[in-house]
Structure 1
């Protein structure tokens, strides 16, 4: 996949995607008035490239420290989905469900693309911080699973992200911390 992503590729991704669902308690729902975006599942995605493993390992070390996890712990990223938001699409404020006992947070990797809107807004400690993806570089944002967050409506273009569950070694206690962001070159 060539970066930055352009509209024709986004449209091809949408053609093989499904409407994204969300969890409410024990239920998994599809309601475009709450979450309106397209989703590709991990079995539809292959991550590669010579720099990807090094970039991800470096980012995980950085986010482990930024999230206040013990230095000796190891943070792992488990691919959850690829999301494609088109004009008008969004995800209302919500909190991620912990999909594994070792899950401590979420990593969002925004792929570079020309779009407006679609900011990721994370709430923590009574404050909200909006993160805007780069048009030219990967943007990586990590936050604890208990942080409420949302994706504002996309006004133009396409917003594409990879989402990962962040897992840590079972014996590593989590420390209360907020979101952490790090733009990184592709």
Structure 2
């Protein structure tokens, strides 16, 4: 038997759904996000809150090493250091973990697969 035929037969024996992609959505109600200097972010984000979040950030860099630049004509956005952002992981996990389980099932992955 040829190697290619062996591989084809082995692949044909795999019992898994045909899905290679999936899409799920969930409510952000359990996503408790706080930004130092702004406070708790509520959904949907208001224009006032968006301005305060931008004010808490710094201009986002682009480029690599010595070519890194700050140029709002190229990238007019902000970034907030992770030390200023807090997510209530316990609450979010209550929503996110079951969603990951559904994604795992959709893709035919084994339970406990990271």
Shorter-normalised TM range? 0.3 to 0.5
Which has the greater radius of gyration?
2
- TM-score (ref. length: structure 1): 0.30
- TM-score (ref. length: structure 2): 0.45
Report which structure shows greater RCO (CA 8 Å, sep ≥6): 2
